[in-house]
Structure 1
Amino acid sequence: MSHHDNFIYLTFALVLLLLSTAIAQQFFEPSAQRFVQSTTVITLLVAVWGIKKDEFLLAKAFIFPVAIILTSFAGFYLDEFGLEFTHLILMLIFFVSTAYQTARQVIFSGEINGNKILGAICLYMLLGLIWALLYTLSQLYFGQAFNGMPEATQWYIAFPDFVYFSFVTLTTLGFGDISPNLPITRFLVYFQAVFGQFYLAVLVASLVSSRKSPHQNGNNSTS
């Protein structure tokens, strides 16, 4: 894996991890979500943060599963000691930082290629996960912050449903099975919908036009 193909791997990894979130919710105990989210964290560390470091420890095959297990245990102990909000806020900070790092690699560096266009897709999925964490924090803090959601006392029970709701909102599908119940959560929902539309309209269009511009410049120079 290198900076030329890291987002190819990350795109497949994020899709599989989102699928794993649904499978864990469907067939396993809710606490299995800890393992899925730990896998997500370590995957992002390798594919986004470690891509420019040749000696990045987590990129080694034998370290990768060990890091996932250790991260799962760390999350378990944070939850057991009543530090659930700390756990979620740390995850939120990490996802926001990773989204920023991804944006830097996609938008602010070098020529646009297929890998960076896939990076834009990865960034879109990261935005969905960031808002899912914000919704989960709101639900745990305020109680009934959303209609259609049971009162969950553990984040990993509510989080899979908010992943679904977040991507439905980001794409402005709006099925209505889950809806915001408080002014602050209504703000989060409509702000995500607006942000998602501007992301598709502005960023993806910029990437495509940047990819075309070298060809246009080449045609102009030959004419």
Structure 2
Amino acid sequence: MQRKLGRRIKKINDSNNFFYLTLSLIALLISGSLAEVVGEGVIDHILQGFIIWTFIVCLASLRFDRKWFHFLASLTAVWVAVFILKSVLNIQQMDVVMLALTFAFFFATFQSTAKQVLFHGNVNANKVIGSIALFLLLGLMWAIVYLLILEFSPSAFTGMESLTWGDNFSNAAYFSFVTLTTLGYGDISPVTPFAQVVVYLEAITGVFYMAIVVSSLVSANIEHREDKNG
């Protein structure tokens, strides 16, 4: 099993790393929807397993950026330690710490990915997929922010009950991406002023992200052609 995992990780290189990163993020999002199938309680373990797997793939995909790799590895070690501590001692307050660490991990992953994808170098399929990974990371980060808000203010949103963050993950992710794409279905909506501010900030980010990604990829491609032509 370890050998197979090692072989798969070795297949990840700087020409396909964002394919694996994007697939792992999609798998994490799909895992949250399993709550409807397996029921409450079990989903926490499934989701945490997928989060750990996503961390591993992120580390393998971004190991070419040494600065961020060491930081991400440290966050992963701390996350696992907190997870074990919570499982052994059954301390529910650790949920906030786990969510904060998960946000920090995805934020660092976003930073490293953006550094490799945007504004420089030749635009290829891997970089285009990397821009999709950036979009997924944005949605996931805001979903975690909503889960943190629910930890402190359970009635901050209509349409989301006061459940464990694992059971609410799918709803938070759904609401996050609906907001990020400015669809605004209205089945989930913010109630408190702070939640409302966070929601419209995400909508603004979603609009600007599209413009920034398109302009950066185009400018990077033009710059690469000019350098190539001398």
Normalised TM-score (structure 1): 0.80
Q: Residues 97 and 52 (structure 1 numbering): CA distance in 2 closer, same or farther, change over 3 Å?
A: closer
- Alignment partner for residue 75 of structure 1, among 66, 76, 83? 83
Q: Alpha-carbon deviation of 1:106?
A: 1.1
Name the residue aligned to 1:25: 35
Q: Alpha-carbon deviation of 1:216?
A: 7.0
Q: Alpha-carbon deviation of 1:42?
A: 1.9
CA distance in 2, matches of 1:178, 1:184: 15
Name the residue aligned to 1:105: 116
Segments of 5+ residues of structure 2 without an aligned counterpart are 1-11, 70-75
Name the residue aligned to 1:38: 52
Q: Is 1:196 the equivalent of 2:209?
A: no
Q: Alpha-carbon deviation of 1:45?
A: 1.7
Q: Residues 108 and 212 (structure 1 numbering): CA distance in 2 closer, same or farther, change over 3 Å?
A: closer
Q: Residues 114 and 208 (structure 1 numbering): CA distance in 2 closer, same or farther, change over 3 Å?
A: farther
Q: Is 1:114 the equivalent of 2:111?
A: no
- Alignment partner for residue 175 of structure 1, among 185, 202, 212? 185
Q: Alpha-carbon deviation of 1:127?
A: 0.5
Q: Alpha-carbon deviation of 1:113?
A: 2.3
CA distance in 2, matches of 1:4, 1:125: 20
CA distance in 2, matches of 1:129, 1:47: 18
Q: In angstroms, what is the RMSD of aligned CA positions? A: 2.8
- Alignment partner for residue 13 of structure 1, among 1, 24, 28? 24
* Partners of 2:118 and 2:216 within 8 A in 1: no
CA distance in 1, matches of 2:171, 2:81: 23
Amino acid paired to 2:211: A
CA distance in 2, matches of 1:89, 1:106: 25
* Partners of 1:21 and 1:36 within 8 A in 2: no
The within-5 A match list for 1:141-180 is: 141-152=152-163, 154-180=164-190
Q: Alpha-carbon deviation of 1:218?
A: 7.0
CA distance in 2, matches of 1:13, 1:34: 13
Q: Percent identity?
A: 37
Q: Alpha-carbon deviation of 1:160?
A: 1.6
| Segment of structure 1 superposing worse, 184-193 or 109-118 | 109-118
Deviation by residue 1:104-163 (Cα, 9 ceiling, x = unmatched): 1112553332211211110110000000000000011112110111112x2111122101
Q: Alpha-carbon deviation of 1:208?
A: 2.9
Name the residue aligned to 1:61: none
Normalised TM-score (structure 2): 0.78
Please list every run of at least 4 consecutive aligned residues from structure 1 whose deviation after the TM superposition is greater than 6 angstroms: 216-219
Q: Is 1:84 the equivalent of 2:58?
A: no
Amino acid paired to 2:56: I
Amino acid paired to 1:115: N
Q: Alpha-carbon deviation of 1:214?
A: 4.3
CA distance in 2, matches of 1:91, 1:158: 15
Segments of 5+ residues of structure 1 without an aligned counterpart are 57-66
* Partners of 1:147 and 1:179 within 8 A in 2: yes
| Segment of structure 1 superposing worse, 84-93 or 39-48 | 39-48
CA distance in 1, matches of 2:119, 2:59: 20
